[in-house]
Amino acid sequence: RHIADFGGDPERLVVMGESAGGLLAAVAAQRARDQNGPTLSAQVLFYPAIDLDAQTGSRIEFADGPILGTETARAMLSTYLGDAANAASALASPNRARSLAGLPPALVVSAQCDPLRDEGEAYGRAMQDAGVHTRIVRLPGMVHGAYNLSAFVPRVEEFNRATVDFLLPLLQRSPETA
């Protein structure tokens, strides 16, 4: 409602998050769709936690990390859930929404060596199947949390490049509206 007060453009809103923040961004996109706004131009999800009860190959393969292990992820997400029964809610596991149709375009960036990799990519494919313009990018050799490690991981630029390449055509204004 007040974005213009801060120099923002209400016609070019994007939600973005990583890990648990990716979960929150995915839920925000669904709620914006279901509750009549605001209209989002896109959603950007970096290695999102999407299904809090997921039993995936990457959760098994990277149970001990690096950086984030499966049990640590579960413990962190249980703080968000409160009661474990809440994991069945689409507000906790956005892949459980009745429909993914009508969501804003999505970029899902996964890290190869991450227990959350498979659920994020599966969510991206589910959005594609629902007709949502979705790009899924897996960054080889990357680990969960790499985006926050830019001082130590020079390849963080790959996250930025994927984001710019995805968002630029969605957010560019024509010369008449600039």
Residue showing tokens 């996250």? 159
Task: Read off the DSSP letter of residue 12.
Answer: S
Nearest alpha-carbon partner for 127 in 144, 102, 147, 109? 102
Measured N-to-C along each axis, helices 20-34 and 70-81 cross at an angle, to the nearest 10 degrees, of: 40
Strand positions, DSSP E, the chain: 14-18, 42-46, 106-113, 134-143
Active site residues: 19, 114, 144
Distance CA 19, CA 148 (A): 11
Task: Read off the DSSP letter of residue 124.
Answer: H
Residue type, 165: D
DSSP states of 18-57 as a string?
Answer: ETHHHHHHHHHHHHHHHTT-PPPSEEEEES----TT---H
